[in-house]
Structure formats: structure tokens, C-alpha cells
Chain A
Amino acid sequence: MLGESRIKQITETILGRSTADQTEVVVLANDTYLTRFANSTIHQNVAETNTEVRIRVVLGQRLGIATTNNVESDPLVEALERALAVAGLQPENPDFQSLPGPMPISKVAGFSESTASYTPAQRAQGVGTICQMARAEGVVASGAFTTAAFELAVANSLGTLAYYPTTYADFNTVVMSDTSAGYASALTMDAGDLDFETLGREAVNKCLRSQNPRPLPPGEYSVILEPYAVQDLVQMLAWTGLGAVAFQEGRSFMVGRIGQRIVDPRVSLWDDGLDPAGLPWPFDFEGMPKQRVDFIEGGVARGVVYDSYRAGKEEGRVTTGHALPAPSAYGPMPTNTFLAPGGATVEEMIASTKRGVYITRFWYTRPVEPARVVITGMTRDGTFLVENGEIAHPVKNLRFTQSYLEALNQVSMIGRDRKLLLGMADIARDSVPALKLDRFSFTGATEF
């Protein structure tokens, strides 16, 4: 951890030396530790200390960006000079208006001292708990345990100044037998909140229950999706259609449908960077405060996220505080998504199912037709046939090709409990419940 005063020195060094019309400095410092295990033993154990300084300068309507991870004074000035040189060589960007001016930033709690000071031995103990549970059952555990402390700071020559220290602890494990696998994952701000016994039991039990799977013919089935699988629905909706770039270019499923019902009325999806339940990011990579953005409210399309550049392309639009580090071809993206919970338990979903497929999680999902959010992917780490209200037996993994948007029109039940999971690029955090969908299209099967 560099600390707020050292980071302020860095930003002041650059802002004080810049000759640009406008200058922005983004500092992202991290201390990240990761313990990785496989075959019930630790095989990778790593630590990284790094600080990335991203300088964006504006000369009229010309922008230049340079980054460095050397925070001594001379290299910082060299990076500034590279940014100025880059800007000077560019043609004007007529769409660029200005860096954003200062806005008040809400105070949110996102830092845990116990996570920041977590030791290699503590991580090994957590991993050891899972490995011992697996060995006791004659199966093997794999996974990764990350503890990380970040500092994000944004300062610009218009007076924007924002600083936020944050931590997270992320644990995931796959437990495998010769014929099966089980999965568990958890994300917390405080590493001390991780319950390794519960996570180990979840993954080991799933592995034991999914042994000797039988083939199931592809086709349409009702499905029960654990939160791990539901997270993929949310991520793909965000990736394909909930950012301003896809929306403005006409590639988003939201285009022309704002104010219209697009999915089941029980579905509400939003982004809220200030909600403590979602491991907050109070501001974005331009130092702009996060606004709550309702994407889908009661099944009705409402809006997408913006940064200052993309907001400037629409009359009267302001940033929602969702800029990624510049330059970003993807544009603004959701970072703290929430899917509204319902009132059902997973047990009730199973009990209400005459014939369907119970899915732990999806794997290697990719858009086939982004505008309709048609996605293909595989099931993995515990897939079961449900018959007459009970888990009948494990099945071999299936390939699906399905519009996620249409799937959300097939909602039968929504789980009452949500799970917080680490999302895209380890920046996004998704809070999602389980779902039961009446129809889901499987187009292939694999051999295990």
C-alpha cells in the first residue's frame, strides 16, 4: 500500500509539470497475493506489488495517453512527456468535449485491514482445510485463494480528486473424482469472513453426488441455475448490451426498447456502486461518482451506463460514473450489478420440477449472435437430471445455444438468497440469486 499522501505526491508531480490544456492522472496500486492449489496440494503461491500510473492529457481536442509503473519522479515526468508527444501528433477528436470536473464522492467502507495483512501461512491454512476434506473423501481439490489490497486514485487539472482504498478476498475450488466435479466460490471484503468448512462441504458433496453421470439427449428442458450460472447471464447481458458503446452503435438488445417490457416482469437488474452488499466502487476511472443505473425494472428496459465521453455524444446526458481505464474500446461497463431476489429456495425449485436439468455453473460461454444475446457454452462441475421433484441422477455435461434474453422471459422462480461473486476483469462484482427457467435449449453433449 502506497498510502493517500504518497499517491497525492505522484498526482501532484504530474499535474504540476503538465503543460497540457487538461491533464488527468489515474493511479492504481495493488498488493495481490494468490495461493493456487491442485491435486490437493499448493502448486503456485505468488505475490505482486505494483502501481500503474495512467496519464491522459488534452491539447485542444487531441488526447494522448501514456502509462508507467515506475513511480519515481523522473520516470513520471518522462511518461507525461510521452503523453504530450502522443497528443501533439493526433488529429482533433471532434467528439471529445472535456475531462469531467470535480463531483462529490460518497464515503463507503471497502477496506479490511485483516485482508491487507493476511499472510501466506493463513492462506495455506484455508487451502489446507479444503484439501483435507477432499482427501478424507478420496477426491482431489483444486482452486485459488486471492487476497488483494487496491488503492484507486483519480486527479485531474479541473480539480477532480478521488481516493479509495479497498480489499477483497476471493476463494474458489473445484473438487474432482474420476467421473465428477463440484464447485464452490465466495467473495468477501474481509478474508476473515470466508468459511472454508462450508465452501469445502459444498464442493466435496457436489463432487460425490455427481459421480458416474449418465448421458442426457440434447433438447429443451426446464433448468434450475445456481447463482454461479446466473452470474453468466448477467455478465453476458452487460457485455453485449448494457454499456453506452453497444447502445449508441445499435448493437445492444436495449436499442429501441427503452420503456418496453423485454423480459419477465419479476426480473429487475441494476448497477449500484455504493451498495455495501456489492463491495463498492464509489467512483470510476475518471473520478466520477457512481450513480445507480436501473437496466431492467420489473421486466422493462430502462437504460445503460455512461462515461463522460460517451455521455457527451447524447444531448443532455451526463456520465453515470462507469468509465474504465482510458482508452477503452469497450467503453463504460457495469461494475456492481444486482439481480433482484425472489422468494424461493433451491429446494422449492427442485420440488416444483417435473423434469429438468439442475446446473451448477456454465463454462466457456461466448456470444454467437450478440444483438439477441444468443450464447453458447457448456455446463460444468455438477449437472443433474431432476425428475418428479427430486434430483434423479447426475448427467454428462451439455452444450447450450440459447438467447439469454429469451431465457429471462421463461422465469419460473427466483431464489431468495443472493451470492456475491467476482466478475469481469476482477473489477466487476455481481450479486445474483438462483433462477428456475421453464425452457432452455441444449444443442449438444460431451463425453464426461
Chain B
Amino acid sequence: MKTLADRALDLAQVRGASYADVRIVERRTQNISVKNGVVEGLSDAESQGFGVRVIVDGAWGFASSALFTLAEVDRVTALAVQIARASGLFKLRDVRLGPPVSHVGTYRTPVEMDPWNVSPEEKIGLLLRANEGLRSTPGVTVANSSLSFWRERKVFANSEGAFLEQEILESGGGIEAIAVDRDRAEVQKRSYPNSFARDQRQEGWEAILAMDLVGNAMRVGEEAVALLKADQCPSGVTTIILGATQLALQVHESCGHPIELDRVFGSEASYAGTSFLTPDKYGAFRYGSDLVNLTADATVAGGLGTFGWDDEGVPAQRLPIVRNGIFGGYLTSRETAQQLREIVGDAAPERSGGAMRADGWNHIPLVRMTNVNLEPGDWEFDDLVADTDEGIYMELNKSWSIDDKRLNFQFGTEIAFEIKGGKMGRMLKNATYTGITPQFWASCDAICNEKHWRVWGTPNCGKGQPPQVAHTGHGTAPARFRNVQVGLMK
């Protein structure tokens, strides 16, 4: 691998590159899905290749290939240089990367039980048992159970001397029950432990065992059927308590994306959009109440945004984003970190925060979330409910939508419960809530403590053109928000 990387780096510089990096990536995935007692999918996929990224005359070029021959390395490197020269035809400024990055090292996700050492029979057996539990409640129309395993080995080398080898391993699993009332054209769904098929962690098979999919299956099926007969979530302005998984989605959409500095600078304007968190707000803007503390932490154990170094070779870091409600941190790349300093001066860090991540060998790295976490508060969950005279508890995301500057959002949850007189009451369906991001976070008046806090995986974060999927993490505990508009469903 080093020979291949050195050849590309040397050739790029001979052809005029002032900077070059090479990423060689090998990805292996295994997905198993059971639907209604039948194994519908068991697939084993591998993808490998390399990408060469160069700066020539101050402009970027990138090319990639799956063919590992020296001739192909030469072709791809020359193509990257040719593309960079084309990029320079309409450049407005030269790319500046700031201080060089020259780390050398290795990193591997710590796991107790490598999921590739667990037999497919055991995995299938677990899914079949969970699936049976889901279907034990009459009225469950569709029962899904699935497992997903992901291993990526990658080598990064750049023309500044960096050479890094990493192996990231993830395990994911989940169950879901769907209940259908054909007469009323109504569909309800319950998932566990997270929505959209699974929760996922940088852990081994132990993460799957800890989920206890079988032990939770009957409850999940029962709740899906019960939702069909539950009352509609009322409309109005009220207090809400968000469960930890829904709050993870809230953090992802209304904090994680708007702090991506490439997006702030317009790089995603034509696709994902821009951000309301412009540099003039850096260090001064009230993002939320005094209780709101948000951190980007690429070092937290188990998080999907954890690594040794990002895809520019920058070490993993833990960085403040919001402190006591005041916004003061971005997710950055080497280039955008320098651009920010040109605007806000020494108030911004000199170096990248290390948030550049690429989806495989065939894409360039973009500024992506690491683990963007809402730090825990000091409430016990039961005390929080007891302290709430009237409101709604909402749990597990069902639908999510937010505008292209990340201000106006509307989220819906799979299940909700009325809170009256400090007690959980009747089940509610089709719950939605909506708001404007900084107003919503300003209304946060209680966050549960570290006992209720954990990092949730989001293995499906889309960004960029061509589309890239990133795996991000979000540490959250349940929290309360006042005066929120809920229930706009007709």
C-alpha cells in the first residue's frame, strides 16, 4: 500500500501539485434482514479502491479507481492533476491549508467480540427469534428484524509526510413492527432501539447482545398495534419532553448540520443548503438557554463519529460548540479553518478541528459531523415528568424536515404520551412538533443526567454531490422544552 501511495504522491508533485493526498480504502459490509419470519436478505459486500486528491495552481482535483495497478495509479493521478487545472480556470482564490499535517500512526476500533467471528447461524437465529416476538401480537402486519456490520480499513498518506492506518468497525441492529388498518388507510410503526431499522455503534457483537432485541420484541409489536387505536396528538402550544433518540435527531438536524463550516461558506448551497450560523454569530450568538452545552467529540467510545484521524490526517478532538447557550464552534476542515480565521481572526483555532470524512475511496472528504453531543444536565427522568403539569412526551423519530438554512423544522415521532399532573397518561399517535431552531433551544429548561445519557448512531447522514453517506453519533439524554407548537396533522 505504501508503494502505491508513494507513487501517486511523487507523480502528483512531479506534475505540478503543491499538495497531494492518497486514501486507500477497503470496506466490507454484511447485512441480514428477516421479514415476517423469512430471511429476505443476507448479503456480503466488499468495495476497495483508492482516491488521489491534489492542489495544482491553488485549485482542487480528485480522481479515483478500483483498479490497483501501477499503470492505473499513474492514470488516476494524472487525471486528478488535469481536473485540478480545469478547476483553476474559474477560481477566485487559491486554496490555503494552513499548518502542515504529518502524523504517523495506527488506530483500531476497540471491540470485545469481532462480529465476523460470530456465525451467520447465530445471527439469523437471533433475528428469527426477535421476529417471532414481534409477530406474537395479533395485528402486526409486517415484522422486520435486521443486523448490519461494517468494517473499513484505510490508509491515508499525504505529501507533507503523514501516513496513517485505521480500522473502523461497527455493529448495528434493530427491530420494527408495522400495523395496518386498511379500512382507515392508516399505518403505524414501532421500532427498537432506534428508528430507520437500527441503532449502530463502533463496537462488536457485544453491542447487539446489549440491545436485547428478543426481549423487547413483544412490547414493540404490542405498541404498534395499540397505536392504531390511540388518540390523535392534539394541536396547540405546550410543553414537550423529548426522548433521547428523538433528541439525537434534533441535535443532528438543528445543530450538527448548521455548524458544518463548508456549508456555512456556501459549498453545499445548491444541494443541502447553507446555514443560519454565519461567522458574524461566532462567539456571540445565543443558540439556546443557559443549560444547553453542545460538544463535537470524535473521541467518545462507541460513537459512529469516532476515529483516530480524520480523512485529512488531523487527529480526533473534543471541541466545544455551544457553551451555556452561546454558539462558539464549528466543524472544520483544514481549508475552512483558515477561511474562518481570515474572517474572525485569532478567535478561531489555527488548525482544523478534524471533521473531514469521505464515504469510501471514491469520494472526496467533506466536513461531516463527528459525535455532536448535548451534554447531560442534572435531572432524573422520573423527576422531570413529575415536575411537568401538562405536556407531551415524544419518542423515536418518524418524520423529519428542516429548511435549507436549518431554521424551521418539523419532526414527527412514532409514539407519544400525554403528561398530566406530573404523570404519564394516554398514548398519542401522529405526534409532530415544529419550531425555529434558536427559539426552540432557548426554550430548553431541563436536561436529564448522565444516567440517562448515551451516544446514538446515525448511519445514514446524507450530504454532497455525488451523494455521500456518513456515520455520525449523537450523545443525548431526555430534555424538556416549553411553549412548543405541536400536532399540525390534519
Other A-B contacts than A45-B62, A329-B144, 9 sampled, CB-CB below 8 A, are A44-B465, A46-B363, A47-B76, A52-B47, A68-B47, A121-B89, A174-B270, A446-B408, A447-B408
Given the complex, which residues of A lie within 8 Å of B268, measured CB to CB?
38
Given the complex, which residues of B lie within 8 Å of A32, measured CB to CB?
466
Contacting pair A47 B410 (CB below 8 A):
no
Given the complex, which residues of B lie within 8 Å of A119, measured CB to CB?
86
Binds B, one of A160-168, A352-360, A364-372, A430-438: A364-372
Given the complex, which residues of A lie within 8 Å of B404, measured CB to CB?
363-364, 378, 380
Q: A128 at interface (Cβ–Cβ under 8 A)? A: yes
Separation of A84 and B470 alpha carbons in the complex (Å): 30
Interface residues of B (CB under 8 A from A): 31, 33, 38-49, 59-67, 76, 79-80, 82-87, 89-93, 119-121, 124, 128, 141-142, 144, 178, 180, 182, 185-187, 265-271, 273, 276, 362-364, 398-405, 407-408, 410, 412, 430, 432, 434, 436, 465-467, 488-490
- Taken residue by residue from 149 to 173, chain A's Cβ proximity to chain B (1 for < 8 Å, 0 otherwise) reads as 0000000000000000000000011
Contacting pair A397 B41 (CB below 8 A):
no
Known: A43-B60, A89-B124, A249-B142. A378 touches B270 (CB 8 A): no
Given the complex, which residues of B lie within 8 Å of A365, measured CB to CB?
401
Contacting pair B60 A45 (CB below 8 A):
yes
Contacting pair B59 A42 (CB below 8 A):
yes
Interface residues of A (CB under 8 A from B): 32, 34-52, 63-70, 79, 82-83, 86, 89-91, 93-95, 119-121, 123-125, 127-128, 131, 140, 142-144, 146, 172-174, 176, 249-251, 253, 255-256, 326-327, 329, 363-372, 374, 376-378, 380, 397, 399, 401, 403, 426, 441, 443-448
Closest partner residue, chain B, to A130 (CB atom): B90
- B185 touches which one: A63, A372, A376 (CB < 8 A)? A372
Contacting pair B83 A120 (CB below 8 A):
yes
Interface centre among B62, B76, B80 (most CB of A within 10 A): B62
Given the complex, which residues of A lie within 8 Å of B90, measured CB to CB?
37, 40-42, 124, 127-128, 131
Interface centre among A46, A142, A172, A371 (most CB of B within 10 A): A46
Given the complex, which residues of A lie within 8 Å of B40, measured CB to CB?
93, 327, 329
Separation of A121 and B398 alpha carbons in the complex (Å): 45
- Summarize A's interface: helix, strand, loop or mixed: strand
10 CB contacts below 8 A, A to B, read: A89-B121, A143-B270, A250-B182, A371-B187, A380-B273, A399-B434, A446-B407, A447-B408, A448-B403, A448-B405
Contacting pair A45 B61 (CB below 8 A):
yes
Given the complex, which residues of B lie within 8 Å of A370, measured CB to CB?
187
Separation of A34 and B65 alpha carbons in the complex (Å): 15
Given the complex, which residues of A lie within 8 Å of B64, measured CB to CB?
46-50
- A120 touches which one: B31, B86, B93, B405 (CB < 8 A)? B86
Contacting pair B92 A378 (CB below 8 A):
no
In whole Å, how far is A119's beta carbon from the nearest beta carbon of chain B?
8
Interface centre among A249, A255, A441 (most CB of B within 10 A): A249
Given the complex, which residues of A lie within 8 Å of B83, measured CB to CB?
45-47, 120
Contacting pair B364 A65 (CB below 8 A):
no
Known: A45-B61, A369-B430. A327 touches B41 (CB 8 A): yes
In whole Å, how far is B352's beta carbon from the nearest beta carbon of chain A?
17
Given the complex, which residues of A lie within 8 Å of B399, measured CB to CB?
366-368, 376
- Summarize B's interface: helix, strand, loop or mixed: mixed
Given the complex, which residues of A lie within 8 Å of B434, measured CB to CB?
399, 443-444
In whole Å, how far is B265's beta carbon from the nearest beta carbon of chain A?
7
Given the complex, which residues of B lie within 8 Å of A131, measured CB to CB?
90
- A124 touches which one: B87, B128, B267, B269 (CB < 8 A)? B87
Contacting pair B47 A69 (CB below 8 A):
yes
Given the complex, which residues of A lie within 8 Å of B65, measured CB to CB?
48-50
Separation of A96 and B85 alpha carbons in the complex (Å): 53
Given the complex, which residues of B lie within 8 Å of A42, measured CB to CB?
59-60, 86-87, 89-91
Given the complex, which residues of B lie within 8 Å of A426, measured CB to CB?
466-467
Known: A249-B141, A378-B403. A66 touches B45 (CB 8 A): yes
Contacting pair B465 A144 (CB below 8 A):
yes
Given the complex, which residues of A lie within 8 Å of B93, measured CB to CB?
41
Given the complex, which residues of B lie within 8 Å of A329, measured CB to CB?
33, 40-41, 144
Contacting pair B46 A67 (CB below 8 A):
yes
Contacting pair B42 A401 (CB below 8 A):
no
Contacting pair A41 B91 (CB below 8 A):
yes
Separation of A47 and B466 alpha carbons in the complex (Å): 10
Given the complex, which residues of B lie within 8 Å of A249, measured CB to CB?
141-142, 178, 180
Separation of A173 and B266 alpha carbons in the complex (Å): 13
In whole Å, how far is B52's beta carbon from the nearest beta carbon of chain A?
10
Contacting pair B269 A67 (CB below 8 A):
no
Known: A50-B66, A128-B89, A363-B403. A250 touches B43 (CB 8 A): no
Contacting pair A44 B39 (CB below 8 A):
no
Given the complex, which residues of B lie within 8 Å of A89, measured CB to CB?
42, 119-121, 124
